[in-house]
Amino acid sequence: MEFKRDTKEKFHVITLPGPSISATMTEEISSYLLSCLQNDVKGQPKSVVLTLQDISSIDNAAAETLVKLQQKFYENNASFVICELQKPVEAYLDEIELLELMNVTPTRSEAFDIVQMEEIEREMMDEGNE
């Protein structure tokens, strides 16, 4: 599977290739996304904006994996925002009651804004703990 990664100042924008995400792909997706958390270099982005613009279907196991990945990122003080969901994927995630657990935005721009706001919140919390 070929992932497209665009590294910004504070985060990575990762686009998954379409047209679907299945359980058989979850290990490769998890490994790739978790590699973003492995950066120990100060100033390197750890947060991810995951673009699903090319995905028209997702199965339950893959959806659950995305929820677990998001939790892992937040446990590691990094953001994980999903954007540009196709209507069938959004409807399916809502149907299996996972959409409400995900940090989802309609556009990349809104996803970028959330990552930036969460970064500011983390910086403010760090200053308050000193």
Whether 90 contacts 53, CB under 8 Å: no
Here the tokens at position 67 are 């929820």
Q: What mean pLDDT is reported for the chain?
A: 92
SS3 41: coil
Listed in sequence order, the residues at least 6 apart from 113 whose beta carbon sits closer than 8 Å to its beta carbon are none
Here the tokens at position 35 are 């590699």
Phi, psi (rounded to 5 degrees) for 16: -85, 140
SS3 63: helix
Q: Which domains does the chain have, with CATH numbers?
A: 4-128 (3.30.750.24)
- Judged against a pLDDT cut of 80, whether residue 70 lies above it is answered with yes
pLDDT digits (tens, 9 = 90+) for 4-63: 999 888 899 999 998 999 999 999 999 999 998 886 556 667 999 999 999 999 999 999
Decide the pairing of beta strands 47-51 and 80-83.
parallel
| pLDDT value, residue 40 | 55
CA quadruple 105, 125, 47, 9: dihedral sign: positive
- Judged against a pLDDT cut of 90, whether residue 91 lies above it is answered with yes
